[in-house]
Every structure is written in C-alpha cells, then in structure tokens.
C-alpha cells in the first residue's frame, strides 16, 4: 500500500507511474536481500562449534537408551491392551 501511494504521488510529478513502481519495487527487493544476507551472516558468525568428547557421547547414548526404553514400554502396554 505504501508503495502504491508513493508511486501514485509521483504520477502527479509527470513521471511514468509504472516505471516508478518498478524502480521502487526493485529498490525494496535489493534492500530485502541485503538484510537477509546480513542477518544470515550474523547468525553464522555467532555459531559456536563444540568438540565431541567421550563424555558427550556417553550422555547422548544414555539419552537415546532412555528414549528407546520408554518407547519399548509403550509398545508393550499397547500389545497388552489388545
């Protein structure tokens, strides 16, 4: 809506509204792409990589084991109900 209004006003200034609309849309698109790039790079630069340690692997294994046990118990309960 803002784009239409600003382009409409330029029509009064003896400028081709279609060309003005295209120019304004292009500038908005370029600005959007710039902001997306900046935001993406900002997130990428803040990423912290962690080294996998034996302790981390043990914690992950314990978590996965716990989840598998929970699923197994649920399946057993469902089978008993049938």
Task: List the pLDDT tens digit at each of the 82 positions of the chain.
Answer: 676 676 666 666 777 888 888 888 999 999 999 999 999 999 999 888 777 666 666 676 777 676 777 776 777 777 776 6
What is the pTM for the complete model shown? Answer: 0.47
Angle at 59 between CA 46 and CA 62, to 5 degrees: 140
Distance CA 35, CA 40 (A): 8
Give me the pLDDT at residue 57, please: 64
Distance CA 5, CA 24 (A): 11
Is-contact 11 20, C-beta < 8 A?
yes
**45: burial class by Cβ within 10 Å (0-12, 13-18, 19+)?**
exposed
Residue span of the structural domain in which 6 resides: 2-81
Give me the pLDDT at residue 32, please: 98
Give me the pLDDT at residue 42, please: 93
Q: How many domains does the chain have?
A: 1
Is-contact 72 80, C-beta < 8 A?
no
């Amino acid at each position: 809506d803002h784009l239409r209004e600003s382009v409409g006003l330029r029509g009064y200034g003896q400028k081709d509204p279609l060309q003005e609309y295209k120019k304004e849309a292009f500038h908005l698109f370029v600005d959007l792409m710039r902001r997306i790039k900046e935001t993406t790079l900002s997130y990428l630069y803040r990423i912290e990589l962690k080294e996998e340690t034996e302790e981390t692997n043990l914690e992950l294994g314990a978590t996965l084991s716990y989840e598998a046990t929970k699923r197994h118990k649920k399946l057993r309960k469902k089978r008993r109900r049938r």
